[in-house]
Chain A
Amino acid sequence: MINALRRNYPGPGGMFVLSFICHLVVFLVIAYWHILPQFHEDETPVTYVDMVTLPVASPQSGTPAPSQQESKAPAAPAPAPPAPAAPAMALPTKPAAKAPTAKAKAEQQKEAAEAKAFNERMAKMEQQAEDRRQAAALDALKKKGSSRTGMPGGKGTQAGSDYSSYLQSRLKDALKETMAMQAKAPQVMATITVSPDGYIDYHVEKPSGDPLFDDAVRRAVTLAGKTLVPPPNGAYFKRVFRFRPEGVGIK
């Protein structure tokens, strides 16, 4: 008798589906518009701090990177034109960095004369071993990093993405050290190339017009290039980077 009075009301199941769809929409909106605060989008800083302190990060012997950098320095003339002011007088620019380079060169020549062939072979072997060690360490680190960040290995097209975010974090740290500006919103676009032996080179695509900031970027790249792990798999790395002060100059 009582059952006859019961009616067939719809259950809440349909509404659960509706609610789920709503959540999905909200989630997509948040994800798409980056509403959540972001911290260095793709990297966990902890991971890369590890990377920097790795022993392999030290510049390897036999790579042309340091000597090239050093030999470049004296070529850049110190801009000290004689001022027309009466009490002022330009000093002869001292080739400060020349001495150690010359010494190194002399040493190299001596060594070469003594046991050139042997040294070469040794250096080659050492470098090969070093390369292998480095690649292995980098791979291990990448695995560690990716498991920690929860990335499922990344897509095939993003093979260099770990390295670019590594380089980004290094450049960021360096720019923090060298930051200086005069203009309101300076911005420098530069193509940065890292050769397989870890030598960094850069080409300014678009200068900021503020000499202070242009120099800051130049210093940052040099600073970051001093202790750089070479790109993985012996490949050249090339990307465009945009340098700018935080929070300003976003058109």
Chain B
Amino acid sequence: MRTFFLLFFLLLAPRLFAAEGYIDVTAPVSGKLKLFIAPPAVLSGQAPAETAKELPELFGFDLAIAGPFDISADATSPLILKSSVGVQGETATIECRLVDQVLNREVAAKRYTGRVKDLRRMGHAFSDEVLRALTGQKGPFTGKIAYVSKVSGNKEIYIMDYDGHNAQRLSNNGSINLYPDFAPSGKEVIYTSYKKGNPDLYRRELFTGLEARVSYRNGLNAMGVFSPDGNRIALVLSKDGNSEIYVISRDGKELSRLTKNHAIDVSPAWSPDGSKIAFVSDRLGKPQIFVMNSDGSNARRLTTSGSYNVTPRWSPKGDRIVYARKEGAFQIYAINPDGTQDTQLTSAGSNEHPRFSPDGRFIVFSSTRDGGEGLYLMRADGSAQTRISPNKGQNTHPTWSVNW
């Protein structure tokens, strides 16, 4: 019995089986970097009280939705964002710094000067800068979101900041306006309007307000999307009877037809390198998502599950395609371009019209989860779903521009 006890103790000797070599240091994946947003200081002149509140809220919203940060009230957090505001007449100046209190260095420091009403844009610009300094990739927060809203009674094109502020009406014609899409430069919008009776495709310069009727062939001229180089537009025409996908140049000429069959083919979406186009077709009976080369060859089916899959959009990196699937209500899914890893991203309400932000970090979409159609934002993995527009007035078809 004694030997047996001895053996037992011997086996209990720790580290007998411990691995040699390196030592593991781990932390929970849920860990986030604490970031403290200091209340803004007054730079010179006087700073209105509302900016003192608005700016930290703006930074908090931007950086919380970005993902890796935990907005903390603890002034000893590793990161601290300091800002100071000065307003003189119509001119506002903000000075922002992101200080790393652990490594004892400034990560980013910027001064912005502009009109008082552009204060929010300056704030977003610094949020972009913070992401660039910390992750190597600029944020999308100064980009605009164009969308369709019925708040005036008709479906008109609107444009707003990514966080829902500063909504502006773009079209004002009292008819139906649909399917906005930004040019890769972010300075032009194409959309389909019924203002001359027929659904025609228009291109509009945002800064000048100049507009051109790009495509006005018989029947539908809809769902236009710019190619990644901005020189071509893929769109849906029904001039030959049923809806097919065509590519035209940005001024509306040089037509080429990509799909040719008796089924309905709609919703073209360019891959980021411009070599492929994803689209929706019911050639097999139900609407499914297909991928073809941008010259129309080699069409193959992408989605294999679900009986009603529509509105594909390619991620800017080209590694994912988001789309909406109807299972009673619409839900947003993401899939790899080779058809693997089909993942559901939303589950509450009916969610449609997904679209990636230009940096690929976020997906903007419309949803009825709070009653009425509103615009929402989530990270590309489906987390942090946040409403960004009022849910009154049927806000749909969001599209996110690059920074300008």
Contact = CB atoms under 8 A, between A and B. Distances in A.
User: A and B: real partners?
Assistant: yes
Interface of A: 20, 24, 27-28, 31-32, 34, 41-42, 69-70, 73, 76, 78-80, 83, 85, 87-91, 93-94, 96-97, 149-152, 154-155, 158, 161, 164-165, 167-168, 171-172, 175-182, 189, 210-212, 215-216, 218-220, 222-223, 239-248
Given A42-B14, A182-B68, A242 B25 contact: yes
Nearest to A79: B133
Contacts of B78: 177-178, 219, 223
5 contacts: A87-B122, A91-B95, A97-B104, A175-B25, A212-B33
Interface string B115-151: 0001001100100010001111000000000000000
Contacts of A31: 11, 16-17
Interface string B1-23: 00010010001111111100111
Nearest to A20: B4
- Of the candidates A179, A210, A223, the one having the most CB atoms from chain B within 10 angstroms of its own CB is A179
A85 B125 contact: yes
Contacts, number: 169
Contacts of A70: 104
Interface of B: 4, 7, 11-18, 21-29, 31-34, 67-69, 78, 95, 97, 99-100, 102-114, 118, 121-122, 125, 129, 133-136
Contacts of A87: 112-114, 118, 121-122, 125
A73 B32 CA distance: 24
Nearest to B15: A42
Nearest to A178: B78
A219 B105 CA distance: 11
Nearest to A27: B11
Contacts of A240: 21-23
Contacts of B114: 87
B105 A73 contact: yes
A64 B106 CA distance: 24
B7 A246 contact: no
Nearest to B8: A27
B58 to A, nearest CB: 16
A31 B111 CA distance: 61
